[in-house]
Amino acid sequence: MKEDGPLFDARDGLGRYLVSSGAQLALVIDEAGRVLVAAGDAGQLDATAFASVVAAHYEANLQLASLVGEPDFRTLLHQGEQSSIYIAGVGGAVLAVVYDGTRRLAEVGPEALLLAERVESPIRELIAESGGDGRVHHLSPDWVEAVESEIDRLFKEGV
């Protein structure tokens, strides 16, 4: 793994925050529901499934906002018994932080907002680098051939 670049910066920012805040897991998720950056320990949580629901949930909330004439609801807070979730839009992506139930969201909210500001610029860079800005990337014919044969193997009827 490269020791510099936006992925490293974003992961580093999230990692430091986890240590200082006692949060369990922080994810940056793109608008299509894919995990861009992850830090911390997912434990029992299925991070892939979690990310797909967070992205849809966040997008749905943007729609709710526009229906009541707000530009957005930038942060979403869910306080539970066992765990709590903080969600915010950041740099064209979505930041989700999972805390265990002992931390009240009212107290971590301002901290998390600072985190969002800190990781915004690496996240923008990362999205641009990944093609999320609409640039087209091309992979080698080698890769395409290898994936195609894997698709044939895996998606054979009645496997």
**Smallest distance from another protein to CB 109, Å:** 25
DSSP letter for 12, please.
Answer: H
CB atoms within 10 A of CB 105: 17
**Smallest distance from another protein to CB 134, Å:** 8
Note the residue count of the chain: 159
CB atoms within 10 A of CB 97: 26
What does the alpha-carbon distance between residue 155 and residue 138 come to, in Å, rounded to a whole number?
A: 24
Q: Does 31 bind another protein (CB under 8 A)?
A: yes
What does the alpha-carbon distance between residue 25 and residue 85 come to, in Å, rounded to a whole number?
A: 10
Ramachandran area for residue 99 (φ above 0: left; ψ -120 to 50: alpha; else beta): beta
Instruction: With CB under 8 A as the rule, give the number of residues binding another protein.
Output: 49
Residues 113-142 that bind another protein (CB under 8 A): 126, 129-132, 134, 137-142
Angle between helix 105-129 and 6-21 (nearest 10)? 170
Give 111 or 129: the residue with its C-beta nearer to another protein: 129
Give 102 or 137: the residue with its C-beta nearer to another protein: 137
Single residue of 2, 81, 82, 110 touching another protein by CB under 8 A:
2
Stretch that binds another protein, among 13-21, 52-60, 76-84, 107-115 (CB under 8 A): 52-60
Single residue of 22, 41, 56, 101 touching another protein by CB under 8 A:
56
Q: Does 156 bind another protein (CB under 8 A)?
A: yes
- 84: closest CA among 62, 61, 116, 112? 112
List residues near another protein by CB under 8 A: 1-2, 5-8, 30-34, 36-37, 46, 48-49, 52-53, 55-56, 59-60, 63, 126, 129-132, 134, 137-144, 146-148, 150-152, 154-159
